[in-house]
Amino acid sequence: MDTTASIDFTNASGHAKADVVVNGVILIKDAPATFLISLEKTLADTYTVWRKIPVVSPDDIWNWDGSKGLYATEPYETTKTKKTLKAFVKAEATDKHPAQVETYQEDVPVGYWTSTKLSGAITPERKRVLLERIQELIVAVKEAREKANSTESHDVHVGDAIFGYLLS
């Protein structure tokens, strides 16, 4: 009980704190240990979500279209076709035999379309950078939490008072 009270009183007094530093830049000054514990969990959850962010297909060349706020491919043309039956005469009809005809399917163009693929996904490179950044921040928060938790706690003695009251 005294150990738990000492830790909690030290955290509550604001002595257990540390800076969160990434690449030599202080992102958070004097962050309390309790906040750092919460932040570490939030960042781990964020990392899990970010790992699942979709990326644009590597099969296409994507360019940022600022007017739409999306990635877009260059326009490309597609053809719509329709299958039609055609007849091929193998042998002409004679007065003794009917014509020998074979049917086959032929694709006949019925229209042309220009298409552009759009995507709200990010590039694989951007995803890699985001995941690297969050990993750097997670490491920095862990280091700050360890530093904050290494703060010497104040000796608090509540056990004698509580059990003295309970057992009297």
Among candidate residues 100, 115, 130, the one where a domain is terminated: 115
Whether 49 and 131 map to the same domain: the answer is yes
pTM: 0.65
pLDDT of residue 12: 65
As for how many domains the chain has, the answer is 2
Residue 23 lies in a domain: yes
- 157 and 84 housed in the same domain: no
Given a contact cutoff of 8 angstroms between Cβ atoms, the answer to whether 32 and 11 are in contact is yes
Domain limits for position 153: 2-57+121-166
Backbone dihedral angles phi then psi of residue 131, each to the nearest 5 degrees = -70, -35
Residues 82, 86: Cα–Cα separation, whole Å: 12
Statement to judge: residues 51 and 84 lie in one domain: no
Q: Is residue 157 part of a domain?
A: yes
Q: What is the mean pLDDT of each run of 10 residues along the chain (168 residues)?
A: 71 77 94 89 96 95 94 94 91 89 92 94 95 96 91 74 80
pLDDT given for residue 14 in this prediction: 63
As beta bridge partners, residue 104 has 86
- The pLDDT, as a whole number, for residue 34 is 83
Tokens of 29: 């000054």
Closest CA to 120 of 61, 62, 51, 49: 62
Residue 64 belongs to a domain: no
Residue 103 lies in a domain: yes
Q: Output the pLDDT for position 1.
A: 72
